């Protein structure tokens, strides 16, 4: 038996027990005639003592012992003469009678402590050491608890957990596929699923009625702090339901997860149309923890010979409460911030609403105090507030001022990580025009049904058609999305035609789905949550890397196992593949 107890469980009641512990050496404190060892496992830390009562052979075994050695320690539990109130085991210690090295350790490249000295790069290279640290392990424990909550909730609602294949077919729509060459089918490739979308719809045709899966999905696109090439979704589909049924079910799931894992009660989720989100927040994933809504002041500001505004399609403003005291330097900083290429605004106009009721703006040449007073009323600004104005193309400026709004929210501390504001964004457009390919793309995916009242528009003005599509947004993070699906093969064919597919292409790519719909397809709808994002949100983190045991870096590499990597020529031969690497110039 390697151990009788864990390193986190001994208490004052265990005094005089003979115990055996096993774990990692956290720290050795050598005081000369006596030494202390902190022994660590995932349950906690227990202090081992060597003093004048300890057999000299044991003391000898301490020579060469270092941090992160795995040892087994036998001894007697005794009360400490000086207690440590900071740890649960702090009232007791183990008087050592025997110690044995189970696994020696080299000096670790960074400290295994809550506040490690290791940088991200090094932590990822030695991720197995990083995972020994409490904060990282706690994230993964939270993840496990959340996955458990998902299963227990959905199981209780009669959902059937079903696995779908990972080797599937590449399709041109959506993200780039990861492809896998097939040895047995020369020159042909599988693709890894971007989502189990078509399979879960086929399960509905199969009569499963309620399906879910916590499932890995793959997208070969560039990474971000919240995007990994392989990621996990809570994927669901339901039959004989309308949009409200899906939203109610998954609002219930989300609330259950908040309650079970964080002990947090969240209010009912409001529904916000996509158009309202864009108008008021400049984003389809609004952070509703704070107001500072965007105001359309296009008409208000016209006609004062200020060419920039007069010629602008759209002029938008936000009101930053209590920021009239912003210095020239701060305002210049904001201007510079919106002028960065990532935002790409030309400039930023400000109006300070002074405490004495006067106004000071960067456009005083063009606008009188009375003009500015009208602006202030329009945006709800009071004395002490700062109005920030941007102008240009409508969509671009809404997006830019939405970004500025978030930045101001950060600066003013309005984005508290312990506050959770979920909402449903609904009525997304069905299609969006893609300049590059000069055709419509499905905003959600090609299986999304149009709103029944907009179906006529599909022939006249497809860009105006709204979809039965919805996103769950929490604190400005897109947690998940879904839609009521098309379940009629004729409508599905029409959709493919709108997306520029020929009949033959649609049949070749998705014929199996349209065929299935011919054999009795129930009305169905579904949703998928980004599980990694949800865990990182719960954990208060900005990156999903720390809620994934072995994540990839920015370039899609696993620096620990050093992948991706070349394969042997023999492997390529078996697959009938030949590399065609481009020469670097």
Residues in contact with RNA by CB under 7 A are 27, 29-34, 36, 38, 47, 49, 51-52, 66-67, 80-84, 86-87, 90, 93, 107, 109-111, 117-122, 124, 173-176, 194-195, 197, 219, 221-227, 340-342, 436, 441-446, 543, 545, 553-555, 557, 559, 584
Residue 261 vs 448, nearer CB to RNA: 448
- Which residues fall within 8 angstroms of residue 124, CB to CB, at 6 or more apart? 130, 545, 551, 553, 559, 560
Q: How far is the CB of 156 from RNA (least distance, A)?
A: 28
Contact 482, 526 (CB under 8 A): yes
Q: What's the min distance (Å) between Cβ of 263 and RNA?
A: 28
Which CB atom, from 25 or from 372, has the smaller least distance to RNA? 25
DSSP3 helix / strand / coil % (the chain, rounded to 5):
30, 25, 45
Handedness of CA 508, 512, 517, 523 (dihedral sign): negative
Which is closer to RNA, CB of 445 or CB of 466? 445
CB-side neighbour CA atoms (13 Å) of 98? 11
Q: For residue 463, with 0-12 CB atoms within 10 Å meaning exposed, 13-18 middle and 19 or more buried, which class applies?
A: exposed
Residue 525, classed as helix, strand or coil, is strand
Q: Minimum distance from CB of 496 to RNA (Å)? A: 11
Q: Which is nearer to RNA, 385 or 471 (CB)?
A: 471
Closest distance to RNA from the beta carbon of 175 (Å): 3
Calpha distance 450→239 (Å, rounded): 17
Closest among 152, 168, 115, 250 to 525, alpha carbons compared: 250
Is 188 or 563 the residue whose CB approaches RNA more closely?
563
Of the two residues 106 and 570, which places its CB atom closer to RNA in the complex? 106
Number of helical (H) and strand (E) elements in the chain, helices listed first: 16, 22
Q: How far apart are CA 118 and CA 232, in angstroms?
A: 27
Q: How buried is 327 (Cβ within 10 angstroms: 0-12 exposed, 13-18 middle, 19+ buried)? A: exposed
Rounded distance between C-alpha atoms, residue 193 and residue 216, angstroms: 8
Q: Residue 200 class from Cβ within 10 Å (0-12 exposed, 13-18 middle, 19+ buried)? A: buried
The minimum distance between CB 406 and RNA, in angstroms, equals 10
| Least distance between RNA and beta carbon 49 (Å) | 6
CB of 282 to RNA, least distance (A): 12
The token pair that represents 161 in the structure block: 């957990």
Identity of the residue, 301 or 399, whose beta carbon is nearer to RNA in the bound complex: 399
Least Å distance, CB 321 to RNA, is 25
Nearest approach, Cβ of residue 453 and RNA (Å): 22
Closer residue to RNA, CB minimum distance, 281 or 367:
281
Nearest residue (CB) to RNA, 385 versus 546: 546
Backbone angles phi, psi at 56, to 5 degrees: -65, -25
Closest separation between CB of residue 364 and RNA, Å?
Answer: 32
How do beta strands 210-218 and 524-530 pair? unpaired
Neighbouring C-beta atoms of residue 140, cutoff 10 Å: 16
One DSSP character per residue, 144-156 reads: HHHHHHHHHHHHH
Q: Which is nearer to RNA, 120 or 242 (by Cβ)?
A: 120
Residue placing its CB nearer to RNA in the complex, 118 or 316: 118
Closest approach of Cβ 209 to RNA, in Å? 21
Residue 371 C-alpha from the chain's centroid = 44
Angle at 11 between CA 7 and CA 13, to 5 degrees: 140
Contact (Cβ atoms closer than 8 angstroms) between residue 556 and residue 229: yes
Least distance to RNA from the beta carbon of 380, Å? Answer: 28
Contacts 24+ apart (CB under 8 A), 169-172: 169/509, 171/509, 171/510, 172/509
Which C-beta is closer to RNA: that of 107 or that of 579?
107
């Amino acid at each position: 038996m390697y151990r009788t107890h864990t390193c986190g469980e001994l208490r004052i009641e265990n005094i005089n027990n003979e115990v055996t512990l096993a774990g990692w050496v956290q720290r050795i404190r050598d005081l000369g005639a006596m030494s202390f060892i902190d022994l660590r496992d995932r349950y906690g830390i227990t202090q081992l003592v060597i003093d004048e009562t300890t057999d000299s052979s044991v003391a000898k075994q301490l020579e060469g012992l270092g941090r992160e050695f795995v040892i087994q320690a036998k001894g007697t539990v005794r009360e400490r003469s000086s207690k440590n109130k900071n740890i649960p085991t702090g009232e007791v210690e183990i008087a050592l009678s025997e110690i044995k090295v189970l696994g020696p350790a080299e000096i670790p490249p960074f400290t295994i402590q809550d506040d490690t000295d290791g940088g991200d790069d090094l932590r990822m290279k030695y991720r197995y050491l990083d995972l020994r640290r409490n904060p990282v392990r706690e994230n993964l424990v939270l993840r496990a608890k959340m996955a458990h909550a998902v299963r227990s909730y959905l199981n209780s609602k009669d959902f059937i957990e079903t696995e779908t294949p990972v080797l599937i077919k590449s399709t041109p729509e959506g993200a780039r596929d990861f492809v896998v060459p097939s040895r047995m089918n020369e020159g042909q490739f599988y693709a890894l699923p971007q989502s189990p979308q078509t399979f879960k719809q086929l399960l509905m045709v199969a009569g499963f009625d309620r399906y879910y899966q916590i499932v890995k999905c793959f997208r070969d696109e560039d990474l971000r702090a919240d995007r990994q090439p392989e990621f996990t979704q809570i994927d669901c589909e339901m039959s004989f339901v309308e949009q409200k049924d899906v939203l109610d079910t998954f609002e219930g799931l989300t609330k259950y997860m908040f309650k079970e894992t964080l002990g947090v009660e969240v209010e009912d989720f409001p529904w916000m149309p996509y158009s309202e989100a864009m108008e008021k927040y400049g984003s389809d994933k609004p952070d509703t923890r704070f107001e500072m809504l965007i105001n359309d002041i296009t008409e208000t500001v016209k006609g004062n010979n200020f060419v920039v505004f007069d010629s602008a399609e759209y002029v938008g403003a936000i009101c930053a409460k209590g920021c009239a005291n912003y210095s020239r330097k701060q305002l210049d900083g904001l201007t510079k911030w919106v002028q960065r290429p990532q935002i790409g605004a030309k400039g930023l106009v400000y109006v300070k609403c002074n405490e004495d009721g006067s106004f000071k703006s960067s456009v005083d040449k063009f606008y009188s105090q009375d003009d500015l007073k009208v602006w202030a009323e329009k945006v709800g600004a009071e004395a002490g507030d700062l109005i920030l104005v941007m102008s240009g193309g409508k969509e671009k400026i809404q997006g830019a001022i939405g970004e500025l709004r978030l930045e101001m929210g950060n600066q003013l501390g309005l984005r508290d990580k312990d506050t959770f504001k979920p909402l449903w964004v609904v009525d997304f457009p069905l299609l969006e025009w893609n300049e590059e390919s000069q055709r419509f793309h499905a905003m959600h995916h090609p299986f999304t049904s149009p709103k029944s009242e907009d179906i006529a528009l599909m022939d006249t003005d497809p860009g105006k058609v709204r979809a039965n599509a919805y996103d769950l947004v929490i604190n400005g993070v897109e947690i998940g999305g879904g839609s009521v699906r098309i379940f009629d093969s004729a409508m599905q064919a029409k959709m493919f035609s709108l997306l520029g597919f020929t009949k033959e292409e649609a049949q070749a790519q998705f014929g199996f789905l349209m065929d299935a719909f011919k054999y009795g397809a129930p009305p169905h709808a579904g949703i998928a949550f980004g599980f990694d994002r949800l865990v990182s949100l719960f954990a208060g983190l900005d990156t999903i890397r720390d809620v994934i045991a072995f994540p990839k870096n920015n370039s899609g590499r696993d620096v620990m196992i050093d992948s991706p990597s070349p394969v042997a020529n023999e492997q390529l031969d078996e697959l009938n593949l030949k590399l065609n690497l481009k020469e670097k110039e």
